[in-house]
Structure 1
Amino acid sequence: MVDHQESAIVREELETDRENPAVEIAEIIADMEDKDHGDLTTIYSCIDHMIDHIFSEPPAPEAQLKVEFSYEGYRITVEQDGHAEFVKTT
């Protein structure tokens, strides 16, 4: 039996040392939606520089920090180690 909930989750590994890691999130969604990332809503209006901060100044690993937010019809979870999950909500 296929778990449709599980199959709707896309997992990606973000580049934690990238200058603007939040832009990578927009690029991933653009790829999934077959759009140019410039056609999407500016991600910084959604999360400002939150992703930049958890990668550039991460808390101790045992904190297991996660950031969860909605953007462009996806519920996105980003962990401080760069793991990210994208779940289509619309």
Structure 2
Amino acid sequence: MPDRTDREVVHRELDSDGNNPSVQVIEAIMDFEGVDSAELPPIYDCVDGMLNELFSNPPAPEAQMEVTFSYHQYRVTVEQNGNAKFVKTG
């Protein structure tokens, strides 16, 4: 039996040049969970436009900036280069 402290971790590459990275996060979770976007809560309440700012006006690469937040039973970390990590928490 797996230890209950084990967490499912999935890595994805987001398009840092694409429009609306928040939508990319929602699409990834829709894929993981097999649900429609209507079944997910609004992501804006969780990140308040921070992902858009991270990609549209990124800091210098040496800053290695990342945004981490909780959304729909996942702890999501998005780096300025588009690397994203999704850790299932629920």
TM-score by length of 1: 0.89
Structure 2 gaps of 5+ residues are none
Identity %: 50
Q: Distance in 2 between matches of 1:65 and 1:42?
A: 24
TM-score by length of 2: 0.89
Which residue in 2 is equivalent to 1:26?
26
Which residue in 2 is equivalent to 1:78?
78
Which is helix-richer, 1 or 2? 1
Structure 1 gaps of 5+ residues are none
Which residue in 2 is equivalent to 1:39?
39
CA displacement at 1:9 relative to structure 2: 1.0
Instruction: Report the number of matched residues.
Output: 86
Give the secondary-structure state (helix, strand or coil) at the position aligned to 1:18.
coil
Q: Distance in 1 between matches of 2:47 and 2:18?
A: 17
Q: Distance in 1 between matches of 2:28 and 2:38?
A: 12
The CA RMSD measured in Å over matched residues stands at: 1.4
**Stretches of 4+ aligned residues off by more than 4 angstroms:** none
Q: Which moved more, 1:36-45 or 1:74-83?
A: 36-45
